[in-house]
Chain A
Amino acid sequence: MYSFEPSDEQKMLIDAVSRYATSDLRPAAHDAEENKELPPKLISKGWELGVLQASIPEAYGGFGERSAVTGILATEAMAYGDLAGALAIGTPGLFALSVLLSGSEEQKKQYLPPVIEADWKPYTAALLEPSFDFDPNDLKTTATADGGDYVLKGEKTFVPFAANAEAMIVYAKLDGATKGFIVPIGTKGAAGLKVGEEREKYLGLNALPFYKITLEGVKVPKANLLPGDFARVLAASRVALAAMAIGVAKAAFDYSRDYAKERDVFGVKVAQKQAIAFMLAEMRTEIEAIRLLTWEAAWMIDANKEDASKQAYLAATGAMDMAMMVTDRAVQILGGHGYIREHPVELFMRNGRGFATFTGLAMV
């Protein structure tokens, strides 16, 4: 059967996340971007909503079952408030969900409870690499067996909270396939792991501390290899990012629509001009279309459908174009005001451009 209605439980979760996103995240977004810092209290409050915790089974310290559909619903609502905030709150999920989706039973029991049962802590993951044609299935970072260890070599970029990470998953190429490796760091650090001295500076997401890391022969025990299929992790990341793109686009759409209904031009409201009204109609239509594609991909993941990975790829591809189109138009609808940083649409537009790049920065 088809159904386009979230369950009552999902609706409650969406409501809770939406309330936090609109009354906490959004009001803080501008200053967080300008000051290049998210208040830690803001992150803890978001973490306490328990979106990640609800997708981890009790046996590993959580209180639910992982559902990609529930995950993307919450993710969209969170990103609607602010993308940087949503990514920060979800960062421990990069570590935890990598373990949940591709780890062994032992690894799950050992590594999940410390992440899930505690306050928000900088557990993270490193997938992206500094090359224009970065391909998650063809990494330049390598893992080679050396006695009882694997040795990791390469360069990673866009690693959130790397400077004070408790632990991270490093993705590297092993025998031609992408595999995740658990790298404990804590206060002792990891030998051969160099974190860039300065935070990376980007087009957007300045509220988030991203770092380059260099792996100069980092040794991890063989037991730290996540044995499962990376495709599951990648699909989880793709639908999560698609959902975030939808959240950002929806935020841009709502803001520009409300503005167009307020602002007078030639004796009517801006929105009463077909040139603007049609732009808004197309934005709304495109958001809905990609949202359904993403829902379907997430549903396919949950239902273990064969084509789930391909569908997640299509959803992420559609979402990155949609987010760019919608956020660009939102700025256009505000005209000169859209270009001024007092209004959030220019930030939405900078965030919107990022979805072509952000692979691996979110997971559900």
Chain B
Amino acid sequence: MIEFEIPEKIAGICTVIKSVADNMMRPVSRYFDEHEHEIPWDYITFMQTATRAMGGTSMAPSEKREGPRLGFQRLAFMVEMLSWGDAGIYLDTPGGMLGSAAVNATGTPEQKERFLARFKSETPTFDAMCMTEAGAGSDTSAIRTTAVLDKEKNEWVLNGEKIFVTAGHKAMVDSKGFIVVWATIDPKAGRAGMRPFVVEAGTPGCQVTKLEHKLGIRASDTASIVLQDCRIPFDNILGSPEVVTDKATTGFKGAMATFDATRPIVAAQAIGLARATLELLKEMLTERGVTVRYGLPRQKLTSIEKEVIDMEVMLRSAWLLVIEAVWMMDNGKPNSLESSMCKVRAGDVVNKITQKAVEIMGPLGYSREYLLEKWFRDAKISDIYEGTGQINRLVVARQILGYRSSELR
């Protein structure tokens, strides 16, 4: 049966999050945009308590308490609403994020327990994913960070530098979290050599060296992390012990499985921001005597009405793509195609909508008196991280054409 009814439980959670967004995020949006690298502790502390009551915001949803599997759907709705509040501050939400998603997608049950249990504590705790390097962005097979096994001590020794680590500082300095570092155990093997490793906060040899200054989402820290003879226990390689030697189970597959779970969530972030923008735009227009008339043929619409209606089409249809992708995730259906499609569309849509909104409102859109210009800046990240729009198009194209990566580069 095809159905589009938002599950009651999720609707209830959204109502709560909406009031968090109204009261704890919007009033400080501008402040944290203008005070980059300050941390919104009021929001973080509040969310720590609030989300524990709601079952967490983890990217590794617990499924035990629910009948039908709704974990990823619930997460998508929560993230959408939090980003509606503020896309930058949302990224400071305590609890498992991309690091947990990697643990969840590639770790053993023992590892999930060991690494994810910390998010149940009363102290706000963060995690992060370390993929990108100075010389390896979209081409993740080019990573140079190495992991060498010290057989005597049964430890991995990591060396390298990771950049663009979202929430890296909060995971490693501001809390007892962890990062998931993608490193190679065989630099000559390309993708086949890639493996994910967990490095916990406080591990010697792991240091946050820099915080970036960004176009938008300034409330979120983007860190550089240096690993210098950083030693971690053997068991911190994600997956069963065979992952070390088994060439068939490449770490790259693990990275892709992680993305299947995280891309719809990152897309949900884009949708929340796009919805915020469209709502504010309509509100500003209404205050100025412009209301949008639905149901008319295009030939009778003003250009502003036409733009707004097109935005509604884009927004709603992209959101439904996201819901479909997380619904598939929850129901154990392979969703690489849908996951990348929703990321492509959401990334496009949020940029089109925020760019148009600034244009339509003229000087008011460009002014820092309103949030439209901030949202225009915040939006761009959605087309970049968790796979650029182009990388996701490549993933979609390979799926629909049945090509391997060697056949479509």
Contacts and interface: CB of A to CB of B under 8 A. Distances in A.
B316 A314 contact: yes
B394 interface: yes
A2 B312 contact: no
A285 interface: yes
A318 B313 contact: yes
Contacts of A299: 2-4
Given A274-B394, A284-B341, A285-B344, A5 B2 contact: yes
Contacts of A69: 2
A296 B341 CA distance: 18
Nearest to B395: A281
B118 interface: no
A272 B297 contact: no
B343 to A, nearest CB: 10
A4 B328 CA distance: 9
B400 A257 contact: yes
Contact of B321 (A271, A277, A281, A292): A292
Contacts, number: 137
B407 interface: yes
Interface in A246-295: 257, 260-261, 271-272, 274, 277-278, 280-282, 284-286, 288-290, 292-293, 295
A202 interface: no
B297 A135 contact: yes
Contact of A292 (B309, B320, B400): B320
B295 to A, nearest CB: 5
A108 B299 CA distance: 35
Given A282-B344, A314-B309, A317-B310, A3 B396 contact: no
A137 interface: yes
B371 interface: no
A96 B309 CA distance: 31
A197 B200 CA distance: 83
Nearest to B68: A1
A133 B300 contact: yes
Contacts of B316: 293, 296, 311, 314
Interface string B319-337: 0110110011000000000
B279 to A, nearest CB: 15
Contacts of A317: 298, 309-310, 313
B2 A3 contact: yes
Contact of B320 (A1, A271, A289, A303): A289
A303 B313 CA distance: 21
Contacts of B323: 2
A284 B400 contact: yes
B345 A2 contact: no
Contacts of B312: 314
A2 B5 contact: yes
Interface string A299-324: 11001000001110111011001000
Contacts of B317: 289-290, 292-293, 318
Contact of A135 (B4, B296, B313, B324): B296
A132 B5 CA distance: 38
Contact of A281 (B296, B310, B313, B396): B396
B362 interface: no
A1 B5 contact: yes
A17 B341 CA distance: 27
A356 interface: yes
Contact of B324 (A4, A278, A303, A318): A4
B269 interface: no
B53 interface: no
A127 to B, nearest CB: 13
In the A-B complex, list the 9 residue pairs whose CB atoms are closest, starting with the nearest.
Answer: A292-B320, A277-B397, A289-B317, A318-B313, A281-B396, A133-B299, A293-B317, A281-B397, A281-B393
9 contacts: A5-B1, A134-B297, A274-B394, A281-B400, A285-B341, A288-B324, A292-B317, A311-B316, A318-B313
Interface of B: 1-7, 68, 73, 294-300, 309-310, 312-314, 316-318, 320-321, 323-324, 327-328, 338, 341, 344-345, 390, 393-394, 396-398, 400-401, 403, 407-409
